[in-house]
Structure 1
Amino acid sequence: MAKPFAALAIPLFLLSVVSLLSLRCGAFSADRPTDRRLLVLVDDLAIRSSHSLYFSTLQSRGYDLDFKLADDPSLALSQYGQYLYDGLLLFSPSVQRFGGSLDLAGILDFVDAGHDLILAADSSASDLIREISTECGVDFDEAISFQDPAALVIDHTSYAVSETEGDHTLIASDIFIESTTILGDEKIEAPVLFRGIGHSLNAANSLVLKVLSASPAAYSANPATKLSSPPSLTGSAISLVSIVQARNNARVLITGSLDMFSNRFLKSGVQKAGSSIKTQSPLLFSFGTALVLRSEKSGNQQFLTEISKWVFHERGHLKEGECMAQVFLSMNFLVKEYSVEIYEWSGSSWKPYVVDDVQVQFYMMSPYVLKTLSTDKKGLYSTSFKVPDVYGVFQFKVEYERLGYTSLSLSKQIPVRPFRHNEYERFITTAFPYYGASFSTMAAFFIFTVVYLYNK
């Protein structure tokens, strides 16, 4: 009976090795930073069809989506110490408890390991979803009472015009962050449709940014009840969509509207209140004369596509190449030369990163030298400078942070010591008077000796 078990053990071992290798292939790679395997957690699998346009844009860019219910008992983010997914999409706002081995700590560990997260909430957001957003520096507006639903964002000036007046909870916002790195080079012309709950940013967290903001006239309240006290969240303090880039360069997107990802919002026309052009109907009549206007879509698809490129590192991802520090002598001074290569991920390959604001510090306890690096337009940054007359162990430090880009933190240690006796120049111009005095003294002593010995 031992032989069949021995024969079975070998295939099982090979299978486990293959499984482990397959897990490693899906992990984050510095040479290819784009996330490819995404886990999508939903409350109802019907979201797979109602939000299919957004999911299809991800799949068209090469992402592999794995849809699962948020309470699936087999749910797991890692196996054998390796993460199964590169990114996580939480489209399950009402989930009270995740299934399987997944919990709040597991999601935070997932982000701490350098993976990316998209979280979409709505008026049914559970305490679990709120806790995740709070840990990321975002605070959703709390429910008004246990009986009433959560407060929605209401705006009586920047709402989307529709056939029915409505309660002005369908927001048409065009207040975007000014960053081509985050939102792409092409300007988003149409407003973004938003219906959901607003949130505020934790003032103590400098890593979270507003990407889409509410207008100064917006406020957060329950549209079904009459206000008895001033809203706690008003005006430009309301963020509709926010992003976080952690110190380990993991990226997080948080929004209070799951509907903004839906097919209905992506395909819908939009006219912002007060706009002079109506884009919902291709044909309008004015005083008996036909006016033909082109029908436009909302800006949701362009906005969500561009922001997802940033979240999943298709844009704004930097890496350092070869770093070199050289020491040489020049005119009796010790000179340091420093160079580093910086590249940017274009979505498919690495290309040189060309800017003029990269600086290096020559550092020991505090910066002694701060120099801006010059570039050759091919990704190489370099500079040279005279070392200060202070002996010790110094560091070349590059701390580069720019809006929308991953941060770079480079350091290289260099010892600074006195010159050896054979490192000085043999004849120094400024010492010629001393050389002359020495040789004249020797000549005078020689003449004195001759005169003293041979003079009678």
Structure 2
Amino acid sequence: MAKLAIFFALTLSFLPFLSHSFSPDTPTDRRILVLLDDFSLKSSHSIFFTSLKSRGFDLEFKLADDPKLALQRYGQYLYDGLVLFAPSVERFGGALDVAAVLDFVDSGHDLIVAADTTASDLIKSVATECGVDFDEEPSAMVIDHQNYAVSDVDGDHTLIAADELINSDVILGKTKIEAPVLFKGIAHSLNAANTLALKVLSASPSAYSAHPTAKLSSPPSLTGSAISLVSVVQARNNARIMISGSLDLFSNRYMKSSVQKAGSPSKYEKSGNEQFVTELSKWLFHERGHLKAGNLRHVKVGETNEPAMYRIKDDLEFYVDIYEWSGNSWEPYVADDVQVQFYMMSPYVLKTLSTDKKGLYHTSFKVPDVYGVFQFKVEYQKLGYTSLSLSKQIPVRPFRHNEYERFITTAFPYYGASFTTMAGFFIFSVVYLYNK
């Protein structure tokens, strides 16, 4: 009895941990490692960090050259997200290197990389592996003589009032960013071979990348709209990456600063930086634009149980549930562009799904007159949303010998010909045998 009492006591003591372990997973990353060049960035960029903490993130600050750095231990990752606010670091400390950062992303975790004019080859190589190329010109900065911010201090037109934002509510939120975003930093371009990278904040056509005080001896390598100021990448495993050419973009100074674009009569008491980085970080850490799908099912019309196979020309109904993470809970995802394929080497049927606006998507169609092993496939990719890929295999058989129609109307002439032939043969036999 004493042993039994001890067993029940231990079981009750572990119940809180068991209930936590089996709680429904959320897509939001909660443990974030922030690597800094200097701990002073904790105070100079505190508004951004406070915003993350207020949304439930657990931030751990370390120097980028800390000899005890590690992203994983015993094969398990210690963090869900990584923020690199250390543009000048030449070499990471501990077990961290470029390969470890890329493995971190390949495992489905998120990454922020911020650079400036002191960006090292290490930081540039991380960005290059993500499909973004920083300008290699030493000390080059983005310059814009038409879209600079009016300022008494910055007279070299490197403080840019940027307003070329991506048109996507899911990435930047539904509330429009009215004030320009202050940017001072280096330019980067997107690798043409990388179709997963997007410009979130672009330079204007009058911008170019060069040393602000040196005379140009040759045309700049990066000019106009080819310059990206802030870019994002969503990998095929739905890991998200943000790359910025300016570390000051996240600073308290730029967030609190008033802004007036050159040539514009409008002056804003506060720049759009805080709203921009806050909304973009919500997307980056999967607080928005994260989809999940499941409960893929199909039945014959008029039945309730899922069959083991279909016969050609059967009528069937297809269902799938799709939900979107709202930041706090899963809500029904409503769209009119979700499709299902009935697939065998190529799609034989492609149907757009209807929705009841409660998360359920459905359609019905007739099984094609081809037998073999088919798949129901839902492949959904939309700007700013995590991609969905679901499939379910099902065999399709032909008619059995006893399932064909016995008499086909179009075959009546052949039936008549057969019986006529038999009757003629009978008459011929009688005439031939009994006629003298």
With normalisation by structure 1, the TM-score equals 0.82
Shift of 1:339: 1.1
Shift of 1:113: 0.3
Q: Give ranges in structure 1 of 5+ residues lacking alignment.
A: 1-13, 145-149, 280-295, 445-456
Q: CA RMSD in A?
A: 2.8
Taking the aligned partners of 1:423 and 1:88, their CA distance within structure 2 comes to: 62
Residues matched between the structures, number: 398
Taking the aligned partners of 1:405 and 1:275, their CA distance within structure 2 comes to: 35
Shift of 1:260: 0.7
SS in 2 for 1:182: helix
Shift of 1:327: 3.5
For residues 428 and 186 of structure 1, do their structure 2 counterparts lie closer, same or farther at Cα, with a shift above 3 Å needed?
farther
Taking the aligned partners of 2:407 and 2:24, their CA distance within structure 1 comes to: 51
Report whether the alignment pairs 1:87 with 2:81: yes
- From 271, 281, 288, the equivalent of 1:315 is 288
SS in 1 for 2:108: coil
- From 279, 289, 298, the equivalent of 1:325 is 298
- From 389, 393, 408, the equivalent of 2:369 is 389
Q: Residue 332 of structure 1 contacts residue 424 of structure 1 at CA under 8 Å; is this kept in 2?
A: no
Q: Residue 312 of structure 2 contacts residue 396 of structure 2 at CA under 8 Å; is this kept in 1?
A: no
Matching residue of 1:115: 109
Structure 2 counterpart of 1:319, one-letter code: K
Report whether the alignment pairs 1:186 with 2:175: yes
- From 91, 96, 101, the equivalent of 2:95 is 101
Q: Residue 291 of structure 2 contacts residue 322 of structure 2 at CA under 8 Å; is this kept in 1?
A: yes
Structure 1 counterpart of 2:399, one-letter code: F
Q: Residue 172 of structure 1 contacts residue 193 of structure 1 at CA under 8 Å; is this kept in 2?
A: yes
Shift of 1:335: 2.0
For residues 55 and 428 of structure 1, do their structure 2 counterparts lie closer, same or farther at Cα, with a shift above 3 Å needed?
farther
- Spell out, residue by residue over 1:400-446, the C-alpha distance to the aligned partner (whole angstroms, 9 max, x if none): 10000000011111111112356567x88958979x98xx99xx9xx
Structure 2 counterpart of 1:313, one-letter code: H
More divergent stretch after superposition (387-396 vs 208-217): 387-396
Structure 2 counterpart of 1:38, one-letter code: I
Matching residue of 2:328: 348
Q: Give ranges in structure 2 of 5+ residues lacking alignment.
A: 1-9, 303-309, 424-436
Report whether the alignment pairs 1:417 with 2:411: no
Matching residue of 1:53: 47
Taking the aligned partners of 1:430 and 1:187, their CA distance within structure 2 comes to: 66
SS in 2 for 1:340: strand
Matching residue of 2:192: 203
Pairwise mapping of residues 356-395 of structure 1 onto structure 2 (< 5 A)?
A: 356-395=336-375
Matching residue of 1:126: 120
Taking the aligned partners of 1:31 and 1:352, their CA distance within structure 2 comes to: 17
Taking the aligned partners of 1:387 and 1:83, their CA distance within structure 2 comes to: 46
Structure 2 counterpart of 1:358, one-letter code: V
SS in 2 for 1:333: coil
Matching residue of 1:401: 381
Matching residue of 1:62: 56
Shift of 1:109: 0.3
Taking the aligned partners of 1:387 and 1:127, their CA distance within structure 2 comes to: 57
SS in 2 for 1:31: coil
Taking the aligned partners of 1:211 and 1:317, their CA distance within structure 2 comes to: 18
SS in 2 for 1:193: strand
Taking the aligned partners of 1:418 and 1:365, their CA distance within structure 2 comes to: 18
For residues 332 and 98 of structure 1, do their structure 2 counterparts lie closer, same or farther at Cα, with a shift above 3 Å needed?
closer
Taking the aligned partners of 1:422 and 1:301, their CA distance within structure 2 comes to: 72
SS in 2 for 1:321: strand
Taking the aligned partners of 2:154 and 2:173, their CA distance within structure 1 comes to: 34
- Spell out, residue by residue over 1:329-369, the C-alpha distance to the aligned partner (whole angstroms, 9 max, x if none): 99993123211110000011101111111111111111111
Q: Residue 41 of structure 1 contacts residue 69 of structure 1 at CA under 8 Å; is this kept in 2?
A: yes
For residues 86 and 206 of structure 1, do their structure 2 counterparts lie closer, same or farther at Cα, with a shift above 3 Å needed?
same
Structure 1 counterpart of 2:104, one-letter code: F
SS in 2 for 1:108: helix
Shift of 1:141: 0.3
- From 205, 208, 223, the equivalent of 2:212 is 223
Shift of 1:278: 3.0
Residue identity (%): 71
Q: Residue 70 of structure 2 contacts residue 95 of structure 2 at CA under 8 Å; is this kept in 1?
A: yes
Matching residue of 1:256: 245
Taking the aligned partners of 1:433 and 1:163, their CA distance within structure 2 comes to: 96
- From 121, 128, 136, the equivalent of 2:130 is 136
Q: Residue 90 of structure 1 contacts residue 120 of structure 1 at CA under 8 Å; is this kept in 2?
A: yes
- From 315, 320, 339, the equivalent of 1:335 is 315
Taking the aligned partners of 2:338 and 2:402, their CA distance within structure 1 comes to: 37
Taking the aligned partners of 1:211 and 1:135, their CA distance within structure 2 comes to: 19
Taking the aligned partners of 1:206 and 1:30, their CA distance within structure 2 comes to: 33
For residues 264 and 81 of structure 1, do their structure 2 counterparts lie closer, same or farther at Cα, with a shift above 3 Å needed?
same
Q: Residue 395 of structure 1 contacts residue 411 of structure 1 at CA under 8 Å; is this kept in 2?
A: yes
- Spell out, residue by residue over 1:73-112, the C-alpha distance to the aligned partner (whole angstroms, 9 max, x if none): 1100001111000000000001111111011100000000
Pairwise mapping of residues 3-82 of structure 1 onto structure 2 (< 5 A)?
A: 31-82=25-76
Q: Residue 312 of structure 2 contacts residue 367 of structure 2 at CA under 8 Å; is this kept in 1?
A: no
- Spell out, residue by residue over 1:212-237, the C-alpha distance to the aligned partner (whole angstroms, 9 max, x if none): 00010000000121111110000010
Shift of 1:52: 0.4
Shift of 1:396: 1.1
Matching residue of 1:10: none
SS in 1 for 2:279: helix
Report whether the alignment pairs 1:233 with 2:213: no
